[in-house]
């Protein structure tokens, strides 16, 4: 499933997150924030759109 968001929706999402986290922002950054959110949502759609079998195992984690 893939969703697309219009500018006002992305602006509201970004503003809510910035306010909750107490991060000040310059209004001139709004277009860049929207672009970043669009890319992030597209990447998330790729991950969630790929189904794994129920018996799939996690990849091992190696530490040096």
Cα distances from 34 to residues 20, 56, 57, 59, 61, in angstroms, run 18, 35, 35, 33, 34
pLDDT in tens, the chain (64 residues): 457 889 999 999 999 999 999 999 999 999 999 999 999 999 999 988 988 888 888 888 889 8
27-34 long-range CB contacts below 8 Å, 24 or more apart?
34/7, 34/10
Kindly report the pTM of this predicted structure.
0.72
């Amino acid at each position: 499933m893939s969703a697309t968001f219009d500018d006002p929706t992305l602006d509201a999402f970004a503003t809510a997150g910035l306010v909750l986290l107490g991060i000040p922002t310059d209004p001139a950054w709004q277009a860049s924030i929207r672009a970043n959110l669009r890319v992030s949502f597209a990447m998330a759609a790729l991950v969630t759109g790929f189904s794994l079998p129920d018996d799939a195992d996690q990849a091992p984690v190696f530490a040096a």
